[in-house]
A and B are shown apart, each in its own frame.
Chain A
Amino acid sequence: MTNEPSIHVDHDEAGANIEHGDHENAYSGLLVNDAHWAFGTDFEDPLAGVDTTVPSGVDPKDLAAYCLMLGDDALVFSQRISEWCSSAPDLEEDIALANIALDLLGQSRLLLARSAAADPSLVPQLPEGSPVPDEDRLAFFREDLAFRNVRLAEVPNGDFAEAVAKILIYSTWRLAIFERLQSSRDSVLSAIAVKGVKEMSYHRDFAGRWVLTLARGTEESKTRLLTALEGLWPLWDELFETHPVEASVAAAGIGVDPAEVADEAGVILDQVFAAAGIERPERGALAGVRGQKGRDGLHTEALSKMLADMQVVARQYPEGQW
């Protein structure tokens, strides 16, 4: 590998860096032993030792495309929520949002790794010797039009009311899908869903409680919440539209047809609205472009900007060791 930064540090018996004076570098110790970092910096396969054999009766390409859709939803929404880091109204909510983003990032990592294992041709090619693992290649080296997330996930952040409204809508929809996905014939998807259900139950409760608090708080908090819901509502219908890939994996007993969970998710959301004393917004659905929407790779401009921000460092150093 060329141009790889290399720093050599000697240690004394206690493991402390021995100063040489000629190349003093405050960060040098960090590159010696991954354990010096909070949680290590090296890559490992999140599916190491997991059987990723594609079950019979499903086209591996469909399975991979489906995992990419679910993985992109979680990745893009995780990135959006993590933009809140250090900006939430108080420390508890800041940490809560970071926790939710982390859960979604973990789900995304597994889903993208599963996608890559099912169809390696999806994974972007990088220079030989690049240490970037498959799931990171998918996350950081695809163009905006290759992303398959629903457009709700990419909506730019507004105020805190917008954040909790968006998390409520996303987790209500997603939980309904994951509850069914637990019985997927694909053991990897099933395992991801079982864990995801536990995690997202906390996310939905968190967001639901905040929606209640804001709706029953002050005129200002209620107005902000209603404004946020009005703004997000045009993206509700898209969550339950069936893409041909979803129809195919649902028929194979591998995936879930989102149209099937529309009623159930609507009922849950209406329960929150009823408890909060607010009405379901009445806004029509945001149209696609020539019928194409998020699942087809057609996105709003916001996604491109978000990805530019998210991907720039990884793309600059495709052979970088972190």
Chain B
Amino acid sequence: MTAALQTPASTVRGDSEDQRTQVPAADHHTAEALDRARVAAARVTDPEMPMLTLVDLGVLRDVAIEDGRVVMTITPTYSGCPAMATMRDDLQRELQDAGFEGAEVRVSLTPAWTSDWITEEGRKALKGAGISPPGQAPQHTGPVVLTLMPTKRALTCTLCGSANVKLSSEFGPTACKAMYQCLDCLEPFQHVKEI
């Protein structure tokens, strides 16, 4: 069973996976435990968007075992993300239920989270829940461009599929979402912002 996280923290993950394949005997127990820990961590969902796991959201960056203890790394979506403490608690609770006492959760600020890390699975789950998934995040090379006209996004209404939609606000009920309205079926819907 592989429970590899689909996150960009591939270097760290790669190291632990290499260990697993190279040392079959002594560390077999650790490798098996790591698998179980990853499976447990991968079950935890985002407190604000429960249709997404933290893996789908790209927030859970790494699961490792250090000195016999599970250490997980998460990264905030926004500086003021109020859900970080809950994510940590949920991860620790899930790991405890899976038999891992005292799991540690660390915060990683670099590299900064981007909506591009939301997995394909996550995008499908968002759509399924009536939330429009983000497009490609803007690349900030050189000065940030001032945009005085509403951001143009090629979106479709999550209810009726119409492309005739209007941005009502760049700021929605959570820090990571914008508000749209469909001009055909009139349904308002949320869109996860590109960041």
Binding site for B on A (CB under 8 A): 34-35, 38-40, 42, 44-50, 92-93, 95-96, 98-100, 102-107, 109-110, 175, 179, 187-188, 190-192, 194-199, 201-202, 204-206, 208-209, 212, 264, 268, 271-272, 275
Contact = CB atoms under 8 A, between A and B. Distances in A.
B86 A198 contact: no
B38 interface: no
B102 to A, nearest CB: 14
B179 interface: yes
B108 A99 contact: no
A102 B148 contact: no
A50 B80 contact: no
A202 B110 contact: no
Interface residues of B, number: 47
A200 B108 CA distance: 20
Contact of A205 (B79, B84, B106, B148): B148
B175 A103 contact: yes
A206 B112 contact: no
A184 B84 CA distance: 25
A209 B151 CA distance: 11
Contact of A191 (B112, B140, B143, B168): B112
Specify which of B104, B106, B110 lies most central, judged by the most chain A CB atoms within 10 Å of its CB.
B110
A105 B82 CA distance: 10
B109 A208 contact: no
A64 B80 CA distance: 21
Given A35-B86, A208-B148, 15 more contacts: A34-B89, A35-B89, A50-B108, A99-B171, A99-B175, A100-B171, A110-B109, A179-B144, A195-B79, A195-B109, A202-B170, A205-B148, A208-B146, A209-B148, A264-B143
B80 A48 contact: no
Contacts of A103: 78-80, 175
Contacts of A192: 79, 109
B191 interface: no
B80 A107 contact: yes
B79 A110 contact: yes
A49 B170 contact: no
B47 interface: yes
Nearest to A101: B80
Contacts of B195: 198-199, 202
A179 B144 CA distance: 8
B110 A190 contact: yes
B79 A199 contact: yes
A92 B105 CA distance: 35
A187 B108 CA distance: 11
21 contacts: A49-B73, A49-B106, A49-B108, A50-B109, A96-B170, A96-B171, A99-B171, A106-B80, A107-B80, A179-B143, A194-B110, A194-B111, A195-B78, A196-B79, A198-B140, A199-B79, A202-B193, A205-B146, A205-B170, A208-B148, A275-B148
Contact of B170 (A109, A188, A206): A206
Contacts of A206: 170-171
Interface in B88-107: 88-90, 93, 104-107
Contacts of A99: 171-172, 175
B148 A95 contact: no
A92 B169 contact: yes
Nearest to B93: A35
Contacts of A95: 169, 171-173
A201 B144 contact: yes
B110 A204 contact: no
B2 interface: no
B73 A44 contact: no
Q: Which of B138, B149, B169 has the most CB of A within 10 A?
A: B169
Nearest to A74: B79
Contacts of A106: 76, 78-81
